[in-house]
Amino acid sequence: MNSSIGKLYPSTKFAVMLLLVIFSIFTPGYVMQYLMFPLVVLISLCAGTGKQFLGTFFKSIFIIILFIFAIQVFIISNEDAQPIWGFLHFSQTGLNDSLSMTSKIVAISSLVICFFQVTNIKDITYALERSGVPKKVTFLISSTIQLIPQMSALSKTITDAQKSRGIETEGNMLIRAKAFVPMLGPLVLSSIQQTEERVLALESRAFSSRTKKTSIYEMKKKTADYILDILCIAGFIAYILWRVM
């Protein structure tokens, strides 16, 4: 977050991400979409989040991509399917379809992951409030974004507590499934308790009050933000003209 990319205004980073997402969705083929991945890796390295980005991508999106490739190329039967072994076969049509499908997934997911890794939730909340978004909507958006990390941290804490009590939580799939069931109760109850505590904390800070509020935390757009905003608008117009012509 302390890099020059991380210090950009949230709306500027969102505009760049949105422009690249539009390029990925509406550009035919799959070459440019796959080129988005090394571009995002370069941006993440410059922002100091390269290791975090690669870890998140290969633990989640990469597995989905492999699954789609396996189903489309070797399982789904097309007219040009050539048998390999048993129910497995190779299809060039399936390969082309999987490349087209996964290229967009790679591009869009990479951009979204990178955006949230180089942008603080506090900055997003501040930018939304400054843009005139109602506070309740802002709180709903920020809570949704933070939900998965909070649940992940809470489940890790509960798992460590179960380990300290001698409950076996590591091993094969059956052992992990047995350990997951007793974890659901504390996880749900703790989540409800945290929600209630958050509501009380918000009310103690006059969240529902209609009076104008001030903030100690401030962010201002810099020259680089305005330049990038202008470049995004110009790039969007140029892309539309290129697609139309």
Same domain, 26 and 79: yes
Same domain, 113 and 20: yes
Same domain, 70 and 161: no
pTM over 0.85: no
Give percent of the chain above pLDDT 90. 13
Mean pLDDT along residues 41-48 = 88
75, part of any domain:
yes
Same domain, 18 and 66: yes
224, part of any domain:
yes
85, part of any domain:
yes
Q: What is the pLDDT of residue 233?
A: 93
Q: What is the mean pLDDT of the chain?
A: 79
Same domain, 144 and 28: no
Same domain, 134 and 76: no
State the Cα–Cα distance between residues 234 and 229, nearest whole angstrom: 9
Residue 226 pLDDT greater than 70, yes or no: yes
212, part of any domain:
no
Same domain, 170 and 235: no
Residue 98: partners with Cβ closer than 8 Å, 6 or more residues away: 68, 69, 72, 73
Same domain, 56 and 106: yes
Same domain, 95 and 149: no
The number of C-alpha atoms within 13 Å of 60 and in the hemisphere containing its C-beta is: 11
Same domain, 186 and 234: no
72, part of any domain:
yes
Q: What is the pLDDT of residue 206?
A: 66
2, part of any domain:
no
Residue 236 pLDDT greater than 70, yes or no: yes
Q: Which helix (H) or strand (E) holds 33?
A: helix 31-47
State the Cα–Cα distance between residues 241 and 244, nearest whole angstrom: 5
Mean pLDDT along residues 161-176 = 67
Domain housing 164: 126-204
More confident residue, 228 or 70: 228
Same domain, 108 and 134: no
Comparing CA positions, the residue from 45, 56, 61 lying closest to residue 6 is 45
Total tally of structural domains belonging to the chain: 2
Q: How confident is the model at residue 122 (pLDDT cuts 50, 70, 90)?
A: confident
213, part of any domain:
no
State the Cα–Cα distance between residues 63 and 84, nearest whole angstrom: 23
Same domain, 81 and 16: yes
> Highest mean pLDDT range out of 43-52, 72-81, 126-135, 179-188?
43-52
